[in-house]
Amino acid sequence: MFRLQGSKVLAVDMTGDAVKAKNGSMVAYDGQMAFKKLSGGGEGIRGMVTRRLTGEQMTMMEVRGQGTCWLADRASEINLVRLQGDKLFVESSNLLAADGGLRTGTSFTGLRGATQGNGLFTTTVEGTGQAAITSDGPAVVLRVSPQYPLTVDPGAYVAHQGNVRQTFQSGVTFRTFMGEGGGEAFQIRFEGDGLVYVQPSERNTIAGDV
C-alpha cells in the first residue's frame, strides 16, 4: 500500500509482498526488509538488452518484507497514479516505485524522446495497482479529450495514460520569439482521451529551449 507522508516521501506498507523502487531511493524502513537490484529495470536479461539498445536508462530494486519502507528521490514531489489494467507512459527518471504486480517495459515514442536526451523510447508501467512518479515541483494533471488536444513542452512532460496518441512537432514559444531560445522549438501534441502529467520546471533538452 502506497501512502504519501508530506509531498516528498512515499511510505510503502508491506506484509510479505514486494514492490519495485528506484535504486537508492530508500531513506528509512522498519520491520524486516530485503533489497535486491533488478536487471533491466525489473524485466530480466531481455529488458536489460532492450534498454541498452534503446538508450532508455532505468535502474530498479526489489523491496520485499514486513513493515514500512520510506522512499524519496532528491526531494522531488511524489504523485500517486492508480492503474486499472491500463498503461502508464513515464520518463524513466520520474518513476519512483510500482506495485510488484505491475509490469514495466519500454515503448517507442517517436522523435519526442530525442529532444530529451532519452533516446526514442520511454518506460511503460502496465497492469492493476499503484505507481509513484516524481516531478520537479507539484505535478499538474491535464485532461486530453477529442475536442481539446493538448500541446506540451517536452522539458515539462513527465507521464501520460489513457487512450492518447502523441506526435512530435516544431513550433514557436514565447522564449523563442523573444530570442531566449537555444535553437528550434519542439513540442509534443497529445490527442485522444486521457491524462498528461507535467511539471512546473523544465529539464534540459537536446533540441534547444522551448
Query: What cell was used for 173?
Result: 514559444
The more confident residue out of 78 and 53 is 78
Tell me the three state secondary structure of residue 159.
Answer: strand
- CA–CA distance, 179 with 130 (Å, rounded to integer): 42
The more confident residue out of 112 and 198 is 198
> What's the burial of 138, exposed, middle or buried (CB within 10 Å: 0-12/13-18/19+)?
exposed
Considering the entire predicted model, what is its pTM?
Answer: 0.81
Confidence check: pLDDT of 107 > 50 = yes
Strands (E), 39-76: 60-71
- Given this model, what pLDDT does residue 110 score? 59
Q: What letter would DSSP give residue 182?
A: S
**Quick one: average pLDDT of 98-120?**
67
Residue 187's pLDDT band (cuts 50, 70, 90): confident
Q: Residue 11 half-sphere exposure, CB side, CA atoms within 13 Å?
A: 9
**Quick one: average pLDDT of 128-138?**
96
- Given this model, what pLDDT does residue 118 score? 41
Backbone dihedral angles phi then psi of residue 57, each to the nearest 5 degrees: -100, 130
- CA–CA distance, 144 with 170 (Å, rounded to integer): 20
